[in-house]
């Protein structure tokens, strides 16, 4: 209710006593990965077409968070990846 996104970061730091950070466990599993240009327009287009993406790719989605993965990149052609949890 207070957070728009969950954020996952791999680190060696122990946050268990930090009351500003809530921690959890990531189960992992099998994901379908879609690469999208990292622009507001392309990211919004992916989200708005998500039902069609699932149907057109015959994906069997499991109950787990959809992950947006971003990488630090140089240059103009930055991309993000959408990982859809599948069976």
What are the pLDDT digits (tens) for 2-61?
666 667 777 788 888 888 887 777 788 999 999 999 888 999 999 999 999 999 999 999
| pLDDT on residue 3 | 61
Residue 69 domain flag: yes
Q: 45-53: list long-range contacts, CB under 8 Å, 24+ apart.
A: 46/82, 53/84
Q: Is residue 53 part of a domain?
A: yes
Q: Assess if residue 68 is contained within a domain.
A: yes
70 found inside a domain? yes
What is the number of structural domains in the chain?
1
Structural domain for 77, as ranges: 35-85
What global pTM score does this model have? Answer: 0.75
Domain assignment present for 79: yes
Average pLDDT over residues 59-87: 86
**Looking at residue 1, what is its pLDDT?**
60
Structural domain includes residue 29? no
pLDDT category at 76 given cuts 50, 70, 90 is low
Q: Say how many residues make up the chain.
A: 87
On whether residue 6 sits in a domain, the answer given is no
């Amino acid at each position: 209710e207070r957070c728009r996104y969950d954020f996952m970061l791999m680190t060696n730091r122990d946050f268990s006593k930090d009351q500003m950070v809530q921690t959890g466990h990531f189960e992992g599993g099998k994901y379908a990965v879609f690469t999208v240009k990292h622009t507001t327009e392309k990211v919004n287009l992916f989200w708005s077409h998500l039902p069609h993406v699932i149907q057109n790719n015959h994906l069997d989605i499991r109950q787990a968070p959809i992950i947006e993965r971003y990488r630090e990149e140089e240059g103009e052609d930055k991309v993000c990846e959408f990982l859809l949890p599948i069976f």
